[in-house]
Amino acid sequence: MDKNKKKLMWQSGIHGFFWHDLYVYYVYEHRMIEKILGFQEENIFSIYSGGVYFFYLYIDEILQNKLKLKRFYMSNQYNSYVKKIYTMLSWPRYFDIQITSDREWKNRIKNLCNMYRKVVSYYVCTESYYTDLLINDLVKKYDHDLITDLIMPDKVPSIIKEQVEWYSLCKRLQYKECFEFEFLENHLNKWRYIICSHQSEPYDLEQLIKRYNLDTCNKKIVEENLFLFERTFGEEKREKKKSRIQNFIMDDEDKEMIQRLSEIAYLRLELRQVWMQIGYLINNMIKNRYSECGSKIFEFSIDEILRNDIDFEQDRNEFIFMRINGKDKLYYNGTQKLMCEQKNIDKNIKSIIGSSSYGKPIMGKAVVIQNASERNRSIDANSILVVPQITPQIVPLIGRCKGVVTNEGGITGHASIIAREMKKSAIIGTEIGTDVIKNGDMLFLDIQNYRVRIMDDE
C-alpha cells in the first residue's frame, strides 16, 4: 500500500489462510459490502504473520463514502438489512451432529461455510470504522457524552445477559450453606457456547467452577456488578433514554439516526456470536476429518479441501494478501518476507493515544492478555486489562478489573459498548497497546485526552 497515505489497521481473530479465504477474501472478491451498503473499498492489505492477522484500509477511501453510508442508514434499504440480520440471529446451530457419510459431511460443511460467509458479510458492514463516521457528525452538532450515551444498545446483548445471570447465580450460591453444582450445571446448559469460536472451546463445568471461585473471592464485587447490570439494563434506563431523545432539541433525522445506530450496536454484538459459533462448528468438522494433518489443513481454502487439491509443499503458514484497485495479489511460500511491512514501534514510549475513551481518569497496574489462553492471569480491583480486542472469552474478566485498554475498536465497537455498559474506564483503539505495555506497568488512563500514560517506577 502507499506509505504516504494514512491507513486504518485492525488486528483480527482470523487465524490462518482458511479463515482469511472464508471471510476477507470472500467479502471483497464477491463485493458483498457493495451489495449491502452500496459502496466498497478497492484497496486492502492483510498480513498473517506470527499467528496474528492484521488488516489495513485507506482512511481516505472510507471517508469518501460517508454520504453514501448516511443515505443507506436513512433509506428503506436499512430496514431490509436489519430484517435479514434478525433472520440470521434465529438460525439454528446444531452443536452435536453425527456425520455418517462422506456425502453428508460435504453437504454439511458447504452449508455451514455458506452461512458463515453470509453472516460475516453483514457483520463487516457494522464495523465501527463505518458507524463512527456517522457518530462523529452527530457529535459535532450535539454534546459528545449525550450522543455516545444515546447510541448504546436498548436491547441487552447475549454476552451481557450471561453476565447478569452469572452474577445473580454467584450471589445466590454465596448465601447457601452448601455449594450446589446443579445451579452451575443449569447455567452451563444454557450458556455453554457463549464463548466458543474457531479458536476457543465452549465452557465446561471445570471452567465455570474456576470462574466462580475467582469471582466470589470478594462478595462486594459480586453485589456491585449485579447492581450495576440491573440499573444499566432495567426498564427505567430504557424509558429515561427514550425521554431524553424526545425532549432534546434535535432534528428528526438525527433522532432517527441515533435510534438506528443504537440498533446496529446491539446487532453487531449478536452477529458476532453467530459467526463465532458457526466458525466453531466448521473448525471442529475440519479438525475431526483431517486430524492427521493438524493445523496444516487450515493453510488451504474450503474449496481446495473439498476438491482434495491439497499440496503440503505449499507454505501458507504466513502470507500477504493485497487488493489494489480491485485486483488481487497473494504472496506465500516465504515470498511475503521480501515485502512484508513490519510494525515499526518504539517500545520505550510512555504515552499511547486511542481513538475513543470512556469513564473517569484512573490509575492501575497493567495485566496484558494477548489471547484467550492467558485469561487465567491474576486480576483484581486494581488491574487494568490490556488486550488486542474484547472477545466473549475476555468479557467475564472485566467485572474484576478497574479499567480496560484495547488495540482496536471504535465508539460502537464491542470494547466500547461493553466497557461503557459495565461502567469501566477505557481507552479504545490504541493499535499498539499490547506491543508497548508490559505486565505490571503502572498505567494512568487520561480519559479526557484519550491517552494511556505509562508511569515511571518510583
> pLDDT by residue (tens digit) across 358-374?
889 999 999 999 876 77
Domain final residue pick, 197, 232, 267:
232
Average pLDDT, integer, range 103-130: 94
Asked if 43 and 90 sit in the same domain, the reply is yes
Closest to 36 (Cα-Cα) out of 361, 227, 264, 203: 264
What per-residue confidence (pLDDT) applies to 238? 64
Q: Residue 12's pLDDT band (boundaries 50, 70, 90)?
A: low
Phi and psi at 39, nearest 5°, equal: -155, 165
Asked if 24 and 134 sit in the same domain, the reply is yes
Asked if 363 and 325 sit in the same domain, the reply is no
Residue 265 lies in a domain: yes
Residue 247 lies in a domain: no
What percentage of the chain reaches a pLDDT higher than 70?
87
Asked if 28 and 132 sit in the same domain, the reply is yes
What per-residue confidence (pLDDT) applies to 298? 93
> Which residues share a beta bridge with 197?
200
CB within 8 Å of 353: residues ≥ 6 apart: 430, 449, 450, 451, 452
Residue 141 lies in a domain: yes
| CATH code of 437's domain | 3.50.30.10
Domain final residue pick, 309, 338, 367:
338
Q: Residue 14's pLDDT band (boundaries 50, 70, 90)?
A: low
Counting the structural domains of the chain, the total is 3
What percentage of the chain reaches a pLDDT higher than 90?
41
For 83-113, the DSSP string reads HHHHHHHT----SS----SHHHHHHHHHHHH
Asked if 417 and 333 sit in the same domain, the reply is no
pLDDT at residue 108 greater than cutoff 80: yes
Predicted TM-score (pTM) of this structure? 0.86
| DSSP 8-state class, residue 21 | I
Output the average pLDDT for the chain.
Answer: 85
Residue 238 lies in a domain: no
Residue 94 lies in a domain: yes
Domain that holds residue 438: 351-454
Average pLDDT, integer, range 49-66: 87
Q: 241-298 pLDDT, tens per residue?
A: 667 766 777 888 999 999 999 999 999 999 999 999 999 999 999 999 999 998 899 9
Give CA separation, 238 vs 82, 205, 262, in Å.
21, 35, 12
Asked if 416 and 283 sit in the same domain, the reply is no
Residue 344 lies in a domain: no
Residue 286 lies in a domain: yes
What per-residue confidence (pLDDT) applies to 338? 41
What per-residue confidence (pLDDT) applies to 205? 92
Asked if 267 and 384 sit in the same domain, the reply is no
Asked if 130 and 170 sit in the same domain, the reply is no
Q: Residue 345's pLDDT band (boundaries 50, 70, 90)?
A: low
What per-residue confidence (pLDDT) applies to 340? 44
Under a CB-based contact definition with an 8 Å cutoff, are residues 312 and 331 in contact? no
What per-residue confidence (pLDDT) applies to 336? 47
By three-state DSSP, how is residue 318 classified? coil
Q: Residue 430's pLDDT band (boundaries 50, 70, 90)?
A: confident
The rounded distance, in Å, linking the Cα atoms of 142 and 151 is 13
What per-residue confidence (pLDDT) applies to 247? 72
pLDDT at residue 343 greater than cutoff 60: no
Q: Residue 335's pLDDT band (boundaries 50, 70, 90)?
A: low
The rounded distance, in Å, linking the Cα atoms of 41 and 23 is 15
C-alpha cell at 388: 488486542
70 alpha carbon, distance to own chain's centre: 23
Domain final residue pick, 314, 338, 362:
338
Rg (CA), the chain: 22
pLDDT at residue 35 greater than cutoff 90: yes
Asked if 202 and 321 sit in the same domain, the reply is no
Q: 193-233 pLDDT, tens per residue?
A: 998 888 888 999 999 998 888 888 877 778 887 777 766 66
The rounded distance, in Å, linking the Cα atoms of 51 and 11 is 11
Q: 379-397 pLDDT, tens per residue?
A: 888 999 999 888 888 888 8
Asked if 169 and 228 sit in the same domain, the reply is yes
What per-residue confidence (pLDDT) applies to 13? 63
The rounded distance, in Å, linking the Cα atoms of 279 and 373 is 18
Q: 158-198 pLDDT, tens per residue?
A: 998 898 899 888 888 877 666 678 889 999 999 999 988 88
Phi and psi at 143, nearest 5°, equal: -70, 135
Residue 243 lies in a domain: no
Asked if 126 and 167 sit in the same domain, the reply is no
pLDDT at residue 341 greater than cutoff 50: no
Of residues 385 and 429, more confidently modeled: 385
Q: 122-156 pLDDT, tens per residue?
A: 999 999 899 999 999 999 998 888 888 888 888 88
What per-residue confidence (pLDDT) applies to 339? 44
What per-residue confidence (pLDDT) applies to 452? 94
Of residues 37 and 340, more confidently modeled: 37
What per-residue confidence (pLDDT) applies to 178? 61
C-alpha cell at 232: 444499566
What per-residue confidence (pLDDT) applies to 281? 93
Q: 64-96 pLDDT, tens per residue?
A: 999 999 999 999 999 999 999 999 999 877 666
Asked if 366 and 267 sit in the same domain, the reply is no
